[in-house]
Structure 1
Amino acid sequence: MLKIGFCDDDLNVLKELQVLVDRYRVEKNREIEYAAFQSSLDLLAELEKGVRFDILFLDVLMPGQNGMDAAREIRDIDTAVKIIFLTSSPEYAVESYTVGAYFYQLKPIWQESFYRLMDSVIAECKKAEQRSLIMRCREGISRIELEKLMYCEVMGRTLQFYMEDGRVLESMGKLDDLKEQLSVYANFLRPHRSYLVNMDYIRTLSSKSIRMQNQKEIPIPHGKYSDIKNRYLEYVFDREQVVL
């Protein structure tokens, strides 16, 4: 179920957006829920309660807190949501991309252009969803791109996700549950009860440990080396990588 949020101080614009979404979901046969807000403060209050949206339509010029400032606060809570700015002026178009906006839509909004935009942003949401996890981390709601996840370590009830860019994201959970979630992806291997590794980031493999690209040494339990080596080599050969 796709969840969309609309935020605009103009009630007529909110009603127009709701009509467009209602038409779109009927004609395209899509399951979509939406919620409307007349102020960014109301929207932020809902996000802070844990409410999550896939797409946010956010007016730029609103009394009190404008859309750009609201977007910066939204990014502190949710790095994954697709933000689409609404405005009657192109003045803030460049600035909109500093907060990771997906699109900058000029008003008035015509049905044809709205449908094209919805088709595009929904396709992007689906593509991101196929190779990512949505996690509630200390930083807020984050989308963890699996191709950029090097490995995960569990410490007590905390999962630590080590990313390619050096970030470490934390979330409450069990490694058993995460392994089950990622079982459909051939590149994830659990060599140790405390680690789940992305084999694309293995630098070297020895009888005692796995060395990841960030130089992290992950221990291999006694008697497990042969199974781990065979699994890794099978994955490498399946991907037609060269092993010397």
Structure 2
Amino acid sequence: MLHMAVCDDNIDELSNMIQLINLYIVSKNISCEYTAFSNGFELISALEKGKVFDIYCLDIIMPGLMGIDVAKEIRRFDKIAPIIFFTSSPEFALDSYLVKAVNYVLKPVSKEKLFFTFDDVLDHINIKNEEDMIIVKSNEGIQKILISSLVFAEVIGRNVLYHLSSGKIIECTESFSAACDKLMEFSCFMKTHRSYIVNMQYVDTIENTKVTLQNHETIPVAQGKAKDMKQQYLNYQMEGE
């Protein structure tokens, strides 16, 4: 189920957008629901209360809070969800790149324009969804982590730290047991220690007291667990052949 946010202060334009979105949903036979907002403050308030959307459709020229400013706020909560601007003015096109908008559509919005734009956005989403991933709520907002890029996760205090192959660390306030439950759904993870879980794609060697990763980092191994871990790693490698 896709969740879409549509924000426009002009009630006629908002109504037109909703009608076109309904046509698109029916014609493409997709599972989608949308929430309409008449100003940016309402949308930001929904995000602050924990609402999550897969796609954002924003007017740019709105009183009080311009669409570009709304998009900047959205990016505090969600770094990657597609943002589409529908506007009567081309002058903000350059600014739209600053918030990583995926499209900039000039009004009036026709059926052809909207269908073409949504087809493109959904293709982008589907390509992303072909890869295994988890969704986490970090200190920077809601983020998607590709399993293929996650090297290991550890718990420090009340925070779980996700270490990515790029060197980036995503910090989340969540229980480590919940994080492990989520990751153990993927066959490539093994728990080496009560505070660490490792992606076997990045393992170089397993010894009695430590795991050495391909980036030369070392992860502790719980006492007496090395033998079972070596067997788990061997099974994983054989399954991949």
In the superposition, the TM-score normalised over structure 1's length comes to 0.86
Q: Which residue of 2 aligns with 1:86?
A: 86
Distance 1:127 1:226 in 2: 39
Q: Which residue of 2 aligns with 1:147?
A: 148
Instruction: Quote the RMSD (CA, aligned, Å).
Output: 2.3
> Which ranges of structure 1 fall in alignment gaps of 5 or more residues?
none
> Which ranges of structure 2 fall in alignment gaps of 5 or more residues?
none
Distance 2:202 2:91 in 1: 43
Q: Which residue of 2 aligns with 1:105?
A: 105
The share of aligned pairs that are identical, in percent, is 38
Distance 2:134 2:120 in 1: 21
> Larger deviation: 12-21 or 64-73?
64-73
User: What SS is found at the alignment partner of 2:223?
Assistant: coil
The answer on 1:224 being equivalent to 2:210 is no
Partner deviation per Cα, 1:200-244 (whole Å, 9 max, x = no partner): 22344333211234543211123322332233344345445xxxx
When the two structures are aligned, how many residues end up with a matched partner? 240
Q: Which residue of 2 aligns with 1:57?
A: 57
Distance 2:104 2:23 in 1: 22
User: What SS is found at the alignment partner of 2:92?
Assistant: helix
Q: 1:90 to 1:205 in 2, by over 3 A?
A: farther
Distance 2:37 2:62 in 1: 12
Partner deviation per Cα, 1:167-211 (whole Å, 9 max, x = no partner): 322223333333333334232222222211122223443332112
Partner deviation per Cα, 1:118-173 (whole Å, 9 max, x = no partner): 23323433443452222222222222222222111123543221222333222233
Q: 1:145 to 1:23 in 2, by over 3 A?
A: same
Counterpart amino acid of residue 34 in structure 1:
Y
> Larger deviation: 75-84 or 181-190?
181-190
Distance 1:239 1:93 in 2: 46
Partner deviation per Cα, 1:35-58 (whole Å, 9 max, x = no partner): 112222221122112111110001
Matches within 5 A, 1:15-54: 15-54=15-54
> Larger deviation: 73-82 or 198-207?
198-207
Distance 1:210 1:48 in 2: 40
Distance 2:239 2:108 in 1: 51
Distance 1:89 1:197 in 2: 49
> Larger deviation: 7-16 or 207-216?
207-216
User: What SS is found at the alignment partner of 1:161?
Assistant: strand
Q: Which residue of 1 aligns with 2:200?
A: 199
TM-fit CA distance, 1:67: 1.6
Matches within 5 A, 1:169-188: 169-188=170-189
Which consecutive aligned stretches of 4+ in structure 1 deviate over 4 angstroms post-superposition?
Answer: 237-240
Counterpart amino acid of residue 179 in structure 1:
C
The answer on 1:4 being equivalent to 2:37 is no
Distance 2:104 2:132 in 1: 26
In the superposition, the TM-score normalised over structure 2's length comes to 0.87
TM-fit CA distance, 1:63: 2.4
> Larger deviation: 153-162 or 46-55?
153-162
Tell whether the 8 Å contact from 2:194 to 2:222 is kept in structure 1 after alignment.
no
Counterpart amino acid of residue 132 in structure 2:
R
Tell whether the 8 Å contact from 2:180 to 2:197 is kept in structure 1 after alignment.
yes
